[in-house]
Chain A
Amino acid sequence: MSVELSLILTLLIPLLAAWANMIFRNHENLRDGATFIASIVLFGVVVNLLRQHAASPDISVELLSVMPGLSITLSAEPLGLLFATIASGLWIITHIFGVGYMRGNNEDHHTRFFTSFSLAIFATMGIAFSANMFTLFIFYELLTISTYPLVAHKQTMDAKKGARTYLGILMGTSIGFLLVAIIWTWHLTGTLDFVKGGILEGKIEGPLVAILLALYVFGIGKAAIMPFHRWLPAAMVAPTPVSALLHAVAVVKAGVFTMLKVGIYIFGIDFLSTTGASEWLIWLASASILIASLIAMTKDNLKARLAYSTISQLSYITLGMALATSMGALGGGMHIAMHAMGKITLFMCAGSIYVATHKTKVSEMTGLGRVMPFTFAAFLIGSLSIIGLPPLGGSWGKWLLIVGAADAGQQVAIAVLMISSLLNVAYLLPIVGKGFFLANPEPKPAAIGAAISPKSKIAEAPLLVVLPPVLTAIGCLLLFFYAGHIQEFLMPIVTSGK
């Protein structure tokens, strides 16, 4: 299969899945089965692209030319391939989980849900493979729009309010800042292509570089850098599969992915480094990391806690770009994969707990670990990966970021990464500790300190719901061992200059 065809297929398959969803709206199993097959085929296509990449790295497909130099073009480069692989791979797992969750919870409007989901994947693939900023912007907006019905899915007042904040902030920042930044860039350079080493060097100088960068940074609302982060907790009203794939993987990673693309291919790492234009961003990202973690500690609602954790972790990636060193950028890219795997595990565990017990608050989960050992074991592994502990994938991302910060001479950033790890421990591991080792207070213990009865009955959520987080937890473990390959694969984005 040629690269061109594969690239087009990555867009076509999710669209077909969306279409099949509508066709089979009255045949539940057929509909969900079709999407499942689509997700597997999509993953296959992406993996195929991945394998062909080494042989033919510079192939692009122009879909539509608006005017000379401005076109919708697809191409595959390492960062995009990594992102697409994660998103499509996790789509399979999330789809299984989503089917289990929607059925287990008796949610309504399955067809609308799965159709929008497929469309969101379509937009994500578009982002991953866009060859220029214009294409990326189009798909970026499409992603916002396609996920809106998913956020508002429950159709309650809360859901509508959350969805409104979601759309308002994402649309507002992208049009108000990102579009301006893109037009400005176009104005300066006459191109929007992603080019190794950047396109802005020599075209702009002085404080304007920092201002243009700021427009990009704040324009990419999906990266949830403070103070434009409110949409992410607001989006937590969505059903958990949405939070899992979209708000831990696809949407937010589209944000930081765009951030990295801008840093690496529009500005260029060296350009950022020599002008020092991203210095302020190091501080902002650091603040974002710490403040979001502190807020996470105060949240009793598990999904809200995870959402703030995501905000904090996304800023790791922004930080990696802002460090303007090759190790930092690599660390950022690596962290996209590591965080995706870890955080989706946590969200699916949250969903599993909700399906089994309808509990959403951390304070109510005391003693649940003994009842749901698999879910909580997966949660533990996901947490350890997010914290960045061996032998889980998260530790490599953090290691590269530390080395990147050391390269940049940014000791403050190293301190932030260290403190953040401890804050992660403080807000994630209590869930495991209380879940496994404290007695459930509901049947009031006779005396203070009466221990857990050793034979609490195991009552897990349905298999379709429990299996996916267990799989992704194993994925976290495997990523630790394959991190070397990922690093090697990503290397070209920071080497060999222009």
Chain B
Amino acid sequence: MSDKKIGDDAENLPWLGRKLLWVDNPANVKRVFQVLILICIGLFFSDFIYARHGKFEFEQYWGFYGAFGFIAFCIVIFGAKALRTLIKRDEDYYAPHVVDTEEYPDSGLDKASYKDD
């Protein structure tokens, strides 16, 4: 009974895990995304309702932080993707036995599946 799939019958999971199962549902993921959009809209408009004080002039532009965050994240992702095309190699690139290819020795672990008891 080593790796019996138990994920789907909910009553086997710990309480907290069971409470979170809704994230597996694509419809709920979509809902989370929509909430995120709403929060962002709210944050954007909050710029108009309080006295902002920044050290630099450009900080004062409306939506500066939001735009910066969004663009920065995109730059990171696309930059990383571009970088990957240049530097990706197989795990045994340097040598056949490196930590990337080796299994972690079992004696240092306590591997256990949820229903192993």
A–B contact at 8 Å CB threshold (below): yes
The distance in angstroms between the C-alpha atoms of A448 and B103, with both chains bound, is 7
Chain B positions near chain A (C-beta within 8 angstroms): 97, 102-108
The distance in angstroms between the C-alpha atoms of A449 and B108, with both chains bound, is 11
Q: Bin chain A's interface residue count.
A: under 10
> What are the 4 closest A-B residue pairs judged by CB atoms, nearest first?
A451-B105, A449-B102, A451-B107, A449-B103
| 18 interchain pairs, CB-CB under 8 A | A447-B103, A448-B97, A448-B102, A448-B103, A449-B97, A449-B102, A449-B103, A449-B104, A449-B105, A450-B105, A450-B106, A451-B105, A451-B106, A451-B107, A451-B108, A452-B107, A453-B107, A454-B107
The dominant DSSP class at the B interface is: loop
The dominant DSSP class at the A interface is: loop
Nearest A-chain residue to B101, judged by Cβ: A448
Give every chain A residue within 8 A of B107 (Cβ-Cβ). Answer: 451-454
CB distance from B49 to the nearest CB of A (A): 59
Tell me the total A-B contact number using a CB cutoff of 8 A. Answer: 18
Chain A positions near chain B (C-beta within 8 angstroms): 447-454
The distance in angstroms between the C-alpha atoms of A447 and B107, with both chains bound, is 12
CB distance from B94 to the nearest CB of A (A): 16
Q: A451-B105, A451-B106 are in contact. List 16 more A-B contacts (CB 8 A).
A: A447-B103, A448-B97, A448-B102, A448-B103, A449-B97, A449-B102, A449-B103, A449-B104, A449-B105, A450-B105, A450-B106, A451-B107, A451-B108, A452-B107, A453-B107, A454-B107
The distance in angstroms between the C-alpha atoms of A280 and B106, with both chains bound, is 57
Give every chain A residue within 8 A of B105 (Cβ-Cβ). Answer: 449-451
Give every chain A residue within 8 A of B97 (Cβ-Cβ). Answer: 448-449
The distance in angstroms between the C-alpha atoms of A452 and B108, with both chains bound, is 10
Most chain A CB atoms below 10 A, which of B97, B105, B106, B107? B105
Nearest B-chain residue to A449, judged by Cβ: B102
Give every chain A residue within 8 A of B103 (Cβ-Cβ). Answer: 447-449
Give every chain B residue within 8 A of A449 (Cβ-Cβ). Answer: 97, 102-105
CB distance from B70 to the nearest CB of A (A): 43
Give every chain B residue within 8 A of A451 (Cβ-Cβ). Answer: 105-108
The distance in angstroms between the C-alpha atoms of A448 and B105, with both chains bound, is 9
The distance in angstroms between the C-alpha atoms of A447 and B106, with both chains bound, is 10
CB distance from A68 to the nearest CB of B (A): 71
Nearest A-chain residue to B99, judged by Cβ: A449
Give every chain B residue within 8 A of A452 (Cβ-Cβ). Answer: 107
Give every chain B residue within 8 A of A447 (Cβ-Cβ). Answer: 103
